[in-house]
Amino acid sequence: MTGTGTELLDELHAAFLRYVVLPSAEAADAVTLWIAATHGQPAWQHAPRLGVQSPEKRCGKSRLLDVVEATCHAPLITVNATPSAIFRSIGTDDPPTLLIDEADAIFGTRKAAEQHEDLRALVNAGHGRGRPAIRCVGPNQTPTAFATFAMVALAGIGDCLPDTVTDRAIMVKMRRRAPGEHVAQFRHRRDALPLHGLRERLAAWVRGAP
């Protein structure tokens, strides 16, 4: 049984709080609703980004991304893919959700950011529909348009995301757990499968499957 929307969102919300200490109740609500939105992206004109920033190591950003990966629509996670590979992966009518971890290694310094300018441009362009990337393809170098629209989450340490990205993003600024705050350990082999079941039920509800 799929469950009602309220029940599914409550279950998803509880899953995040089980494994991650989020900075506020509002952040937990925002991440939950962003995940639900990934399953409805064929209906959207714009795709808000999810930006996850940690002031230092061990603040839970990667664990948050683990739960996002297990529950969002068609996750495509990367730490070092080329822009060409990415837009060839997302250029479909029902694109995957792009998850970029270690964003501080990509945008954290001016030199690194300059080397990844194409990726920044792709993330910016994909916020809205109708902004394709043009590349020459094949032996005849035929100009070909690749769609860039997709939901994207980026996670990194420090204030590393370009302002052109954060301007289009729901920002979650993580923190270390306080004394007395506890979360369950997340193990992919053990914990991802039940969350995949939740993902399937959430997708069926959002897309109106019988």
The full set of domain ranges for the chain reads: 5-206
The pLDDT, as a whole number, for residue 209 is 64
DSSP 73: S
pTM attached to this predicted model: 0.90
The pLDDT, as a whole number, for residue 173 is 92
| Per-residue pLDDT tens over the stretch 163-185 | 889 999 999 999 888 888 889 99
The pLDDT, as a whole number, for residue 210 is 55
Instruction: Give CA separation, 82 vs 41, 86, 106, 128, 162, in Å.
Output: 23, 6, 11, 21, 18
Give residue 39's Cα distance to chain centre: 12
Across 1-132, where does the E strand assignment appear? 49-54, 75-78, 97-100
| Per-residue pLDDT tens over the stretch 4-17 | 899 999 999 999 99
Regions in the chain scoring below 70 on pLDDT = 1-2, 80, 209-210
The pLDDT, as a whole number, for residue 29 is 97
Percent of the chain scored above 90 by pLDDT? 49
The CATH code for residues 5-206 is 3.40.50.300
The pLDDT, as a whole number, for residue 2 is 63
